Structure 1
Amino acid sequence: MDVQINADKKLTDLKGSSDHPANFGSLCVKGSKLLETNSASGRLLSPMVDGEKASWDDAITQVATKFKQLIAEHGPDSVAFYVSGQLLTEDYYVANKLMKGYIGSANIDTNSRLCMSSAVAAYKRAFGADAVPCCYEDLEQTELLILVGSNAAWTHPVLFQRIERAKKLNPDMQVVTIDPRKTATSELADMHLAIKPGSDVALFNGLLAYLAAQDVLDINYISAYTQGVAQVLNNCAPWTITKVAQQCDISELELLSFYRLFSQTDKVVTAYSMGVNQSTSGTDKANSIINCHLATGKIGREGCGPFSLTGQPNAMGGREVGGLANMLACHMDIHNAEHRKTVQTYWQSPTIATEHGLKAVDLFENIHNGKVKAVWIMATNPMVSMPNRQKIAEALKKCELVVVSDCVAKNDTLDYAHIALPATGWSEKDGTVTNSERRISRQRGLLPATGEAKHDWNIICDVAKAMGFTSGFNFASPSEIFAEYTGLTQADNNGSRGLDLSALCDLTETQYNRLKPVQWPVNKSAPYGTKRLFSDGKFYTQSGKAQFVVTEFTAPQQLTNNDYPFVLNSGRVRDQWHTMTRTGKTSELTSHVNRPYLAVHPKDAANLTLKNDDLVSLSAAHFNNAAHFNAEKSQVLLPVAIDNNQRQGEVFAPIHWSASNASSANITALYTDANDKISGQPELKHAAVKLQKVTYQHYGQLFIQQALNVELLRKYFEYFVTSPVEKGHLVFFATDQDPVNIKRNLQLQLPLYDEWINATGTDLNSTCAMRQGVMSLIMFISPSNIEVDPSWINSLLNSENVTSEQLHGLLNMQPDEQFKQGKLVCSCFKVGENTIIDAIKTGCDSVDSLGKQLKCGTNCGSCKSELSQMLKQYKPNNIVIEQDQLIALEAVS
């Protein structure tokens, strides 16, 4: 990324680096808004001990002293680290070194356990190493791209733009999406398979059985480079077309069409993400995909391979240096005595972990039962991201010491911290990251640390030295850590491990600072990196051959029943990132989707007499039979969004909202501890829930110049969601309290607002307040849901010149014509849906023509899929043929 910094050390401009081979200068909407989200507001500026400001020396001493005490009394397994894919590789490296080589426990796990561990386990079983075989170019050079459980248009938007461009240049390229939901990604697809959630193993085992029956297996490749095919083929044989179609709940015609396409296409990439990984059978799902590629030789060459799309910026970097509890550093194994010797000798450490540590779900279970007595959480928010939220809360509440390193002053997890340590954030952090295609990139610190913040690696080293580990942590810069890490990748390697960075071991500080993006391995035989792996048919298994793995279809653990009849799926929205601690700071990114929702199929909505924006409560069976659940605290309350792209009997909710910005919107309480027995990855795509309509006497929207304390909102409103708007804050709310009391409470809370104006009607109560002649608060309360265009309110908030006509229109909720453009679609250029619909109806017949007229879709491109959907819906004389009809027509012809 290229940036400009002014004399005051502030970023003034940024753009994508046109020479970076991953994005070639393209930025998604989140990246393009980094200037807006990189402010110091909301930052943790100094160490905090028991809620009070402390010095660094005091905070570090208290962390080190308590850790030493607990280790002395209860052993090294009584403490743990829970780290994050937001850390840089150098941060990860020293955290892993401290825990496994000096404390002597493997109790360091990462939130990457929640997104990538099933993919990791599958690669290790098949290839002998966590080695992604593909590169991004393969997504452009393939003839058939299969996207499984991935809404890449929203979750990997820059990569998706490369795919869009490739398909535009090569119309013969076929794209298939496999997902229970029809998402924005499906707009690019030639075929969409809306399979039943959790049925992926059946689908791909059936594909392998079909390939064998059609005699299209690559026997030469199988014989030369693989082992175990016979047992796998025997296991897959019962999966007939009929059986697979029934299990996946799709038609046999759809299934056959997909199977034929795979079998008849030479270059195939199957890219998969959270829809595959976040499952109790995620590892088997990934291996069932890999099996099909091995059986057809569609791996290790251009445009081919099974490709896991990483869920975080540095999930792979963390895997490289041992951030997972079941591995040593640099892809070495804890249970391998030679590997343990290599690592301990290289580190010259006093000990080395000999057993796997606790994976994320088990880690918090052991905090809950008191076996783990101290946890240090770095750059992640498990109260929002981990399943079984109430259990996580109980665990952290019981824990003797909770240390949290973060760059924000408040999130749901920080509420439980005994000690909070301020860490640097983007634009300050300095080190490296590794992306999905094994590409290491240099992230350079641009600005000085905010407040008293320190780099994570620096904090870890300070604690290590305070614990008495005087050697091993005397790093002066990230380049020194990188040099040690790359040296360990070559230790006793001799080609046995794919992660080999030996060509980068001796970089000077200047060379490290100038490091260009490069894909590992980077060694003597590949000094400029390696695009794709296994082109020579050599794998990292003991035999050197890839392993076919028997995979079994197993149903998700949280199954629906009469009392809990709906499957809950989860995922991201287009403009938000994880738990919104940064992207949630700006109206630029909240305007596309400004509150959580529950997507419901129209027939399900009709059966429950639900309409758009009705509130529903969601509950799960484990609310009733787990002692740690408090029904009120665990309640999830979401507004309905009727969505024809849902399968009937299934609902979808986004993951981003939490107790920091909503009354009851964090959905992780609905998921149990169910996780994959091999990878430990939780099942975050399949909960069994029931829905119940909830009504209140009053619904409203409050626009206010200043932020209101969330705890205060809990007193006022039974339901609320907060969201930033351009000139203040927006609160959606619902309540049974009388509007008169709400206004009285606000007046007591906001005494500096010196002029209050009210208008009361049959169906609408309106209030606005001035502060020294400036419009500072606007509120609407109604017996039913109301929608107000934030851009209209922004034109009045903070204004000293509100006319009597504007005030009359405001109190009667009658915006000027210019503020009736509807829901925002293009965040970059603030183009609303009504404006786009009008342009379509008056002649714009393509995404490109909409871009020329309105500019929408011409910057980050994240809204292109939505524009495509709108074109299909509103284009005059447009006849839409559904996919099942098209398949039927093809069969007839």
Structure 2
Amino acid sequence: MADRIRTTCPYCGVGCGVIAEKSADGWVVRGDPEHPANYGRLCSKGTALGDTLGLETRLLYPVVDGRRTDWDSAITEAAGRIRAVTDLHGPDSFAFYLSGQLLTEDYYAANKLAKGYLGTANVDTNSRLCMASTVAGHRRAFGADTVPGCYDDLEQADLVVLVGSNLAWCHPVLFQRLKKAREQRATQVVVIDPRRTDSCDIADLHLALAPGSDVALFNGLLAHCEAAGVLDFAFIDAHTNGFTETLAAARADSVSATGLDRTLLTRFFDLFATTQKVVTVFSQGVNQSSAGTDKVNAIINVHLATGRIGHAGMGPFSVTGQPNAMGGREVGGLANQLAAHMGFDPTSIDRVRRFWDAPKMAKKEGLKAVDLFRAMDAGKIKAVWIMATNPAVSLPETDLVRRALAKCPVVIVSDCVIDSDTLRFAHIKLPAHGWGEKSGTVTNSERTISRQLPFLPPAGEAKPDWWALARVAQALGHGDAFGWRGPEAIFREYAALTGFENGGSRDLDLSISQINDYDRFSPFQWGAKRFFGDGRFFTADSRAVLVPVNHRPPKESPTVTYPLRLNTGRYRDHWHTLTRTALAPRLSGHRDQALADIHPADAEKLGIIDGALVTVKSRLGRMVVRARLTAEQAPGHVFVPMHWNDCHAAQGLVGRLLPGHTDPQSGQPESKHAAVSVTPYATAWAGLLIAADAPAPQAPWWSRHRLDGAQATELAGSDNTQLDGLIEQLNSHFDGQVLEVRDRAKGIIRHAWVKDGKLQAALFIAPDRPDMARGWIAGLIGKALSDGSDRAAILAGKAPGRHVDQGPIICACFSVGLHTITHLIASGQAADVAQIGAALKAGTGCGSCIPELKALLGQREVAVA
């Protein structure tokens, strides 16, 4: 393996290029200055990739029915069980559930096996949860799932509208590109989001619209543009259908559904109408809705009617959540598509069948994600192969999903981790390559294809996902069609399919791309830099379709029992279900556990104090998290993160709250809206356990995260009798000498376990959340204790001398904590963000922490005043 290699980041759909270099301390990852997505920039997650490459959480060998086995036996078992189920119950009794973490070659192999050789289109993906509504909207409007623009448009626009997109946290590198454009070109920015997010830091206008009212807003904008005389009737007449009906629908809608002040609406409408170069960026706040497809089309309608599409600095632009959501879309990774952007029309079915020489070509669409697991629960899906994803956490109706997996006779899971909520249901576990070992391609949000190249040897017996698929296909008797020697052969087959009987009739044609060296080709954007500038679309008559849409509210409204509206989303430094980011201590420093953001006025009514545990409950289930009181959250709303799961917390799973309401066009679930209640969680005691490694504690509530050198687990319970069981469990796990302090009158218990003179673990129990020197104690784990004063200090939980914990991490790029920053500000050494950066480097990396730095400076100004 080389000591320096160019590859692609495995996180969001921005698709940043990175350079991995081997150093004396391990692998260091930095941005690739030559990659067109990021030009050297990285976010906090990308910067910390080198911290996530350890093998301690990896699945290193195949496991069948709980027993370690070899690959040949695992392949034989997987193929035999798939054959037994499909022979008895038919091909639609089997399903794949895939992931935007897979490479394009992996996705292609799974689709070819299922849709061409097993005869089922039950091939869906976690991408259904993040951008399926965009796919459906694109296909209705353009005739194909075509992204019209590119990242450069953000830098060439005069107005950028962010709709349901917290770009600052979820796509930080794009946010930095936009921020720089704003500084250099005075680009105006409008944020449309029920929450006030960090993206508002650069906004000229924030529209905190009512959840789910995007269609009403953009219909109002379309009607305003018509009244203002800025519609492009030449473009409409020459290149579109459906305008008259769409305008009538827009006029019939009322902007009152948005709940916005008319003055704010007029400012936005006038700004949009008078600015020719407009890009509308949208993401999960639009897609994750029971009306998501209509929202997408409402946005596209305005751009088509004003002719603002296909040219520099203008157009609708969906930014995707996963590194290869786009690659999956290209090869048919959704149950309602075939490979190469083809659908289930008779012509496409026959074309793909002939190209693959497929013996059992699927002839109808398969089950989408939510329906797939409902069918499994009903006993219709009897075998499932899940790859690189964690549906037992990420899907709504989580308890139903888990019940379905528990019932399913055959559950095969390919993953790179040894434990996840989903792996606990697997009969067959197949170890897959992780990032740094993978070899293949990914496509980002602007259609740029890049290579992921390996720079690490495979962990244990891990194999590529495409290889496992090909071996199972061969065991099923389809050897000739799956005899690829490597990912390049798969890519070239897929590229040939994109060009097969194309002749310019389909948007995706990679057969014309000049990839002479598969391992070292430069990132390239397929198709044109921008589509539709010539007014030609991929419909039968080459005209775009304006789709009449009307506002439909979310499926659930608040009730007396459940009076608050729940919103869900990502945290700045975390990713999906924590299997990667939780390995890097600095990425947990900003938000080390799940928090429920709630407005102070709501909290006061409900008797909730900042930092206290609360129960968030819906009609389906409940979760327990800490309250974070913030005016960023609108009254009547509560926000919780999507990341936590049973491997990292007790009662931290948001999927248990979410009903499986889906968009009728896209099948995408409404993850941004549910009716909930929030109540104080009765706590009799709280605790903190710090250890190198610890079992899942016997406590009603706990949440764990990594510190440098150790793991921290916060605990709480409603009954003091629970403490005896917890301490008995820990005494059994840590077999060293026990140091103990108890003050029963004050409810204080402190334990330390020491073995061979070295600290194993420390436990602190108090009536309220213990305030301990976490970083200092974590630094002592596994270290020899010099004398009795060390032991006394550990039991006190207070560091001797001048040691001060730096507190929660504000800047994850350079691991700079809250206390360090506030001390600098209070000392008068920093009066602005630039001075903080000069002294501590905070804010000089990806820049995502700058809004918080500004807030800390503002608090200092208020205090001084």
Length-normalised TM-score, structure 2: 0.95
Shift of 1:63: 1.1
From 681, 689, 699, the counterpart of 1:717 = 699
Q: Distance in 1 between matches of 2:808 and 2:789?
A: 25
Match of 2:665 in 1: 678
1:479 aligned onto 2:493: no
Shift of 1:741: 2.0
SS for the counterpart of 2:340 is: helix
SS for the counterpart of 1:45 is: coil
Q: Distance in 2 between matches of 1:747 and 1:203?
A: 56
From 803, 809, 814, the counterpart of 1:829 = 814
Letter in 1 for 2:464: H
Shift of 1:326: 0.4
Q: Is the 8 A contact 1:759 1:811 kept in 2?
A: no
Q: Is the 8 A contact 1:218 1:297 kept in 2?
A: yes
Q: Is the 8 A contact 2:843 2:850 kept in 1?
A: yes
Q: Is the 8 A contact 2:773 2:798 kept in 1?
A: no
1:652 aligned onto 2:652: no
**What aligned pairs does 1:243-642 form with structure 2 within 5 A after superposition?**
243-244=254-255, 246-334=256-344, 336-504=345-513, 507-508=515-516, 511-521=517-527, 530-621=528-619, 623=620, 634-642=621-629
Shift of 1:617: 1.5
Q: Distance in 2 between matches of 1:554 and 1:283?
A: 11
Q: Distance in 2 between matches of 1:255 and 1:141?
A: 25
Deviations 1:695-752 (A, max 9, x none): 12111111112x2222xx1xx2111011111111111000223486257415531353
From 87, 107, 123, the counterpart of 1:108 = 123
Q: Is the 8 A contact 1:195 1:250 kept in 2?
A: yes
Letter in 2 for 1:261: L
CA pair 235-401 structure 1, distance change in 2 beyond 3 A: same
CA pair 145-845 structure 1, distance change in 2 beyond 3 A: farther
Q: Distance in 2 between matches of 1:550 and 1:661?
A: 45
Match of 2:45 in 1: 30
Match of 2:238 in 1: 224
CA pair 294-845 structure 1, distance change in 2 beyond 3 A: farther
Shift of 1:447: 1.9
Consecutive unaligned residues in structure 1, runs of 5 or more: 522-529, 624-633, 880-893
Q: Which segment is superposed worse, 223-232 or 862-871?
A: 862-871
Shift of 1:59: 1.1
1:193 aligned onto 2:207: yes
Q: Distance in 2 between matches of 1:680 and 1:79?
A: 19
Q: Distance in 1 between matches of 2:78 and 2:231?
A: 58
1:779 aligned onto 2:789: no
CA pair 822-13 structure 1, distance change in 2 beyond 3 A: closer
Q: Is the 8 A contact 2:144 2:539 kept in 1?
A: yes
Query: Alpha carbon RMSD of aligned pairs, Å?
Result: 1.8
From 790, 794, 804, the counterpart of 1:819 = 804
Shift of 1:435: 0.3
Q: Is the 8 A contact 1:739 1:765 kept in 2?
A: no
Q: Is the 8 A contact 1:796 1:802 kept in 2?
A: no
Shift of 1:281: 0.2
Shift of 1:433: 0.2
Match of 1:176 in 2: 190
Q: Is the 8 A contact 2:130 2:284 kept in 1?
A: yes
Q: Is the 8 A contact 2:298 2:549 kept in 1?
A: yes
CA pair 874-573 structure 1, distance change in 2 beyond 3 A: same
Q: Is the 8 A contact 1:226 1:548 kept in 2?
A: yes
SS for the counterpart of 1:724 is: strand
CA pair 747-21 structure 1, distance change in 2 beyond 3 A: closer
Q: Is the 8 A contact 1:483 1:504 kept in 2?
A: no
Q: Is the 8 A contact 2:608 2:679 kept in 1?
A: no
Shift of 1:876: 5.6
Q: Distance in 1 between matches of 2:468 and 2:850?
A: 42
Match of 2:676 in 1: 689
Q: Distance in 2 between matches of 1:877 and 1:748?
A: 47
Q: Distance in 1 between matches of 2:160 and 2:173?
A: 16
Shift of 1:272: 0.5
Shift of 1:838: 3.7
Q: Distance in 2 between matches of 1:273 and 1:669?
A: 23
Letter in 2 for 1:111: N
Deviations 1:737-770 (A, max 9, x none): 3486257415531353224132537253322222
SS for the counterpart of 1:540 is: coil
From 717, 737, 749, the counterpart of 1:765 = 749
Q: Distance in 2 between matches of 1:152 and 1:126?
A: 25
Shift of 1:46: 0.7
Identity of aligned residues (%): 44
Letter in 1 for 2:466: W
Shift of 1:332: 0.8
Deviations 1:43-97 (A, max 9, x none): 1111111111011111111111111122211111110100010000000001000
Q: Is the 8 A contact 2:691 2:778 kept in 1?
A: no
From 103, 123, 127, the counterpart of 2:138 = 123
Q: Distance in 2 between matches of 1:224 and 1:751?
A: 76
From 748, 762, 786, the counterpart of 2:731 = 748
SS for the counterpart of 1:875 is: helix
Shift of 1:878: 9.6
Shift of 1:333: 1.2
Q: Distance in 2 between matches of 1:835 and 1:726?
A: 17
Length-normalised TM-score, structure 1: 0.92
Q: Distance in 1 between matches of 2:788 and 2:274?
A: 70
Letter in 2 for 1:709: P
Shift of 1:11: 4.8
Deviations 1:108-140 (A, max 9, x none): 001100001000100111111100011011111
SS for the counterpart of 1:475 is: coil
Letter in 2 for 1:191: L
Shift of 1:445: 1.6
Q: Is the 8 A contact 1:188 1:865 kept in 2?
A: no
SS for the counterpart of 1:392 is: helix
Consecutive unaligned residues in structure 2, runs of 5 or more: 1-17
Letter in 2 for 1:32: T
Deviations 1:595-640 (A, max 9, x none): 111111100100011001222212212x3xxxxxxxxxx4311111
Q: Distance in 1 between matches of 2:650 and 2:842?
A: 34
Q: Is the 8 A contact 1:600 1:651 kept in 2?
A: yes
Letter in 2 for 1:451: G
Letter in 1 for 2:809: L
Deviations 1:484-510 (A, max 9, x none): 0000011111111111112237x45xx
Letter in 1 for 2:728: N
Match of 2:708 in 1: 726
CA pair 537-875 structure 1, distance change in 2 beyond 3 A: farther
Q: Distance in 2 between matches of 1:750 and 1:315?
A: 42
Letter in 2 for 1:237: R
Match of 1:737 in 2: 720
Shift of 1:220: 1.7
Letter in 1 for 2:525: Q
CA pair 369-858 structure 1, distance change in 2 beyond 3 A: same
